[in-house]
Structure 1
Amino acid sequence: MGRSTVLDHARAAFRAREWPRALDGFRRADTLAALAADDLDLFARAAYLTGHDDDSVALYERAFAAHLEAGESESAGRSAFWLCFLLMGRGEVARAGGWLERARQSGVAERPDCATSGFLMIPGAVQEMYANRPNEALPIFTAAQHIGRACHDADLLALGSLGIGQCRVLLGDVEGGLRTLDEVLVSVGLGEVSPVVSGLVYCAVIETCYGTYHLQRAKEWTQALGRWCDDQTGLVPFRGQCLVHRAQMLQLEGDWSQAMDLARLALQRLSDPPGQPAMGMALYEQGELHRLRGEFAEADAAYRAAGRYGQEVQPGLALLRLRQGDTAAAVAGILRGLGEASNLDRPRMLAAHTEIVLATGDVAAARRSADELEALTRTQDAPALTAMADHAQGAVLLAEGDPCGALARLRRSGRHWRDLGAPYERARVRVLQGRCCAALGDDDEARLEFDSAASIFHGLHALPDLRELRVPALANARNGLTPREIQVLRAVATGRTNRAIAHEFVISEKTVARHLSNIFTKLDVSSRAAATAYAYEHRLL
């Protein structure tokens, strides 16, 4: 096969988004004769999309030099921009800045009729935005967007619009900013934007939706990102930080096992080169999952590692300390986190502070945080934020001796969490609903709420919540259980099936079923999950 044929096949594979085949084709063609500048750009992009970042950097450097040698200053500037983008993503800020300056020296930055001049505005605007100066970043993104529209460059238009949407959110116009971001993703979905920019936009929008508590939006766009990734052969999913956000959504949906797998994959993707800031996000997510599953030593290690990467470890670490019984450390940690929280992080901190100080008996402090959290719901329409505020208000009202008022707020919170497909949060609300019903004397409804919560906790393997579930106490912890029934109950609590229990105790499955029936009757429960909760509550394990 001649070089021209190999090159044609590589270009066709690139257009078909078959990235490994494109990469191999360009590599073979390059060994036969040095590629032209435009093909080096494609080669570099294919290398990036298949995870070969070092190769991509070297290829963009070659493309820049080849464009300059051919007198193509605008194309050289474009290659330098993508090189800067790639290096910034790797955390090599100084090197990225050097390439950006080299691109500007070519003269294209002063040409408003040139799309490359707009691209070269983007890194500076991003730096302003990340430095929490959205007022300075917004006009730069707007200028870049105008150039992209005038030059009919879909990539530049998308990047400029993305930055505008993010800045609007940071400036408090959450609804307006999200509408802008939705519009950008429509252009991505229509295939108007290149793959690299598409992946970047998906990840940035999901992050913004998650950070502003618009979880339904985040879920929809995360699903769209998954389909987009699946449609491209050999694509390395975008890339550590976006995997973290996908893990966060899976955690919300109750798929904790897959969420942990994605968090670990994110760590692998982010480990080369080492030291990338998003490592902290991945480690924090691992800490959250370990905490929820009762793996406290692993959670502590993950939070500490996240902190070494500059990641804020609150409210997760404070909630861990609460579960470990160290309320002083929990209060100190969450107060420090609240004092430094950004506007976007503050709701999570307030919700955790309410939970922690209620556990210490400081109802007045909990009331202040719950009221501040509720006030934030008036600034934007985000169901998850409303659910958090109603949960906090319900918990405080119950502590203040108003179970009827608490129940109304908790039921509204539960509906929101149900609609968002968040089983764990819904179960936590049902525990409080059960306590309200018990306080109102409706023991039957209380028992139903506790049983439902226990079933969800059991399915999620949320052992700390199972242990802390306050099932109405019976007169006798063992309540007439025989020694064999206690053995069976302990086996059930560890998740064993009837067959496994029968094998362990050398009895028939029919005998196990009879024991379970007796246990359910004596404990007045209706499910294995509720029996498990009883065993934890009364320390029968």
Structure 2
Amino acid sequence: MSAQLVEEGRLAFDRQAWGDAYRTLSAADRDVGLDADDLERLAVVAHLTGRNEAGHAARERAIQAHVDAGRPERAARCAFWLGMQLSRRGEPARGGGWLARAERLVADRPDAVEHGYLLVPRALGANDSADPETAAGLFGRILDHAQRAGDPDLDAIGRLGLGQALLHLSRPDEGLALLDEAILAVRSGAVSPIPAGIIYCGAIDTCQRIADLQRAAEWTASLGRWCDEHPDLVPFRGQCLIHRSQVLQVQGRWPAAMSAAVDACRRLADPPIDPAVGAAHYQQAELHRLRGALGQAEEAYQEASRWGRSPQPGLALLRLAQGRPDAASASLRRVLEEPQDPPERVHLLAASVVALLAEDRLEDAGAAAREAVELAGGVGSPLLAATADQALGTVLVEEGRAGEALPVLRGAWRQWEELGAPYETACVRVLLGRACRAMGDEDGFLLELDAARTVFQQLGAVTDLRSVESLLARSSPSGSAPSGTGRAGTGRAGSAPSGTGRAGTGRAGTGRAGAGMAHAGGLSDRELEVLRLVADGRSNREVAEALVISEHTVARHLQNIFAKLGVDSRTAAASWGFQHGVL
């Protein structure tokens, strides 16, 4: 009976029925025990079905069984995987001990392919430490070991790592070609299941980082099918859902994106909790922010940070939506002083442009936008190029250089269109409308904003929709452009596509008004004027110029408005005004 169970377990393993394989092999192990090879199989299926402690125990026994059988190379391979899994699960000391033992087991066998595997932790560390040149050299040596031994698992791992290092070195064509080869090996079935899942997730993470949406979408769909074909699979499924949510967000399918992010949180939070749960919370926060659920977004960003995922640039964009540009600028300034790879820095710079403009720091915003354009050009990603051009176009509009802004924004619009990103496309159309108005083209202004409004309505982008409707509502009935152009435009920042929340508004000329009768909420005529201009997106300085008063007086009016309405931000005050029909 025991021999039959072992044979059934092996057959289940070969057909990748991992739940069945675990049940039969563990039953056989309890009955008569398993040999080293079958203990390895048991360890693999335990890991794939989420039984990590059982898997670790089986690997430890397999290591000793291989040693007892005089097979130190096989023992070293088992010790490598055990050390890597323990290190990833937050036990670096225990994991490092097993990696050290693996080194010792093959110390007197210089030609063993396991030396290639044992270079992987060092190579990954170099990539993580922003030392891509060292990483590239190590992954090159890993590939040499793999090719000499004909080891498809190590070969695919080496190609993935070398490709990532080359992308860090701004060699996108070579880097992406290596990622393509690694994924091809996985799809062909040449790679065993645990490294296959690692390679899928690593390649998709990289494509999200460099904003290669086409590959990210294609490989996410492939990983999803792989997960669906194995209903017992536990690891990789949560990461797959995060990637799926990110792709759906770009495509404008926000409800489906939120569903995938929530499901990812649920799966990754099941004990033992996967550190990737932080990325799932961040993804939820981004979607909440885009749809105007600012309180829920704040909570989700906090959860992401709690699990080790940086909440930036999303949290800074949330602060902007809450009317706190000083907090947004301070956070982004601090983050930008730290080292980042070019794609991440482009997103941070794009968000910084929005924050700096909210503080009327045009010169600093221009410098940030131009740095973003330069960095995006070195990466070769259409999404990053669109992000950087959008930031530059926003600055040019704010500087009153609408004629220069139009071709830059048209280029960004075309790239977002080709990427199938409706939200970002609509945000650029708001900016195009502002540029048209600045050049006296009121029809162009109205057409662009009407198109953007339709998209925002369809997506449920509440904050952007309110801003656009405010602009349109305050347009002159005669069709002539009101004085000034106001601020508009939302953009994008973050590992995943997301808007920057600078949805803007036009300026309407206002004459001086007395401090006469009170309006809803107890607002005076002057306070109502200030509220209308603030709702249009104007800074304190712009309000002061429009009403011919000092910035200090504007600040005092805002304090009075906040006190009367019981709110604590410009955004909340504007929202109150819309709800009560005074705007």
Query: In which range does the TM-score fall when normalised by the shorter chain?
Result: 0.7 to 0.9
Residues of 2 paired with 1:30 and 1:149: CA distance? 35
Displacement of 1:109 in angstroms is: 4.2
Aligned to 1:334: 332
Aligned to 2:512: none
- Given the superposition, is the C-alpha separation of residues 388 and 96 from structure 1 closer, same or farther in structure 2, using an over 3 Å criterion? same
Displacement of 1:211 in angstroms is: 1.1
Contact 2:224 2:240 in 1 (8 A): no
Residues of 1 paired with 2:306 and 2:234: CA distance? 27
Aligned to 1:44: 43
Matched AA of 1:171: L
Aligned to 2:301: 303
Displacement of 1:461 in angstroms is: 1.8
Residues of 1 paired with 2:128 and 2:202: CA distance? 13
Aligned to 1:222: 220
Displacement of 1:110 in angstroms is: 4.4
Residues of 1 paired with 2:62 and 2:313: CA distance? 46
Aligned to 1:253: 251
Residues of 2 paired with 1:474 and 1:136: CA distance? 58
Aligned to 2:507: none
Aligned to 1:69: 68
Residues of 1 paired with 2:137 and 2:376: CA distance? 29
Aligned to 1:192: 190
1:235 maps onto 2:243 in alignment: no
Aligned to 2:359: 360
1:87 maps onto 2:86 in alignment: yes
Matched AA of 2:195: V
- Given the superposition, is the C-alpha separation of residues 151 and 537 from structure 1 closer, same or farther in structure 2, using an over 3 Å criterion? farther
**Higher relative contact order at CA 8 Å, sep ≥6: structure 1 or structure 2?**
2
Render the CA deviation track for 1:16-53: whole Å, top value 9, x for unaligned.
Answer: 22222222222232233211111111111111112221
From 125, 128, 133, the counterpart of 2:126: 128
Residues of 2 paired with 1:361 and 1:112: CA distance? 63
Displacement of 1:257 in angstroms is: 2.6
Contact 1:148 1:154 in 2 (8 A): yes
1:35 maps onto 2:20 in alignment: no
Render the CA deviation track for 1:428-487: whole Å, top value 9, x for unaligned.
Answer: 11211222233334434333322222222222222111122253234899xxxxxxxxxx
**TM-score in terms of structure 2 length:** 0.78
Partner secondary structure for residue 379 of structure 1: helix
- Given the superposition, is the C-alpha separation of residues 458 and 112 from structure 1 closer, same or farther in structure 2, using an over 3 Å criterion? farther
The equivalences for 1:284-299 within 5 A come to 284-299=282-297
Aligned to 1:513: none
Matched AA of 1:151: A
Unaligned runs of 5+ in 2: 478-573
Contact 2:377 2:385 in 1 (8 A): no
Displacement of 1:402 in angstroms is: 2.8
Residues of 2 paired with 1:346 and 1:197: CA distance? 30
Contact 2:119 2:138 in 1 (8 A): yes
Aligned to 1:473: 473
Aligned to 2:382: 383
Render the CA deviation track for 1:139-190: whole Å, top value 9, x for unaligned.
Answer: 3222221111111110011112222112222233233222211111111111
The equivalences for 1:17-32 within 5 A come to 17-32=16-31
Contact 1:447 1:471 in 2 (8 A): no
Residues of 2 paired with 1:276 and 1:475: CA distance? 51
Aligned to 2:281: 283
Unaligned runs of 5+ in 1: 478-533
Contact 1:467 1:537 in 2 (8 A): no
1:172 maps onto 2:170 in alignment: yes
- Given the superposition, is the C-alpha separation of residues 458 and 537 from structure 1 closer, same or farther in structure 2, using an over 3 Å criterion? farther
The equivalences for 1:519-538 within 5 A come to 538=578
Aligned to 1:205: 203
Residues of 2 paired with 1:270 and 1:109: CA distance? 38
Contact 1:142 1:160 in 2 (8 A): yes
Residues of 1 paired with 2:67 and 2:413: CA distance? 61
Residues of 1 paired with 2:394 and 2:180: CA distance? 35
Aligned to 2:455: 456
Residues of 1 paired with 2:448 and 2:368: CA distance? 26
Contact 1:90 1:273 in 2 (8 A): no
Displacement of 1:409 in angstroms is: 1.8
- Quick check: 419-428 or 219-228, which moved more? 219-228
| Number of equivalences | 483
Contact 2:170 2:379 in 1 (8 A): no
Sequence identity, in percent?
44
Aligned to 2:520: none
Aligned to 1:320: 318
Displacement of 1:346 in angstroms is: 0.8
Contact 1:370 1:396 in 2 (8 A): yes
Partner secondary structure for residue 471 of structure 2: coil
Displacement of 1:414 in angstroms is: 1.5
Matched AA of 1:185: I
Aligned to 1:265: 263
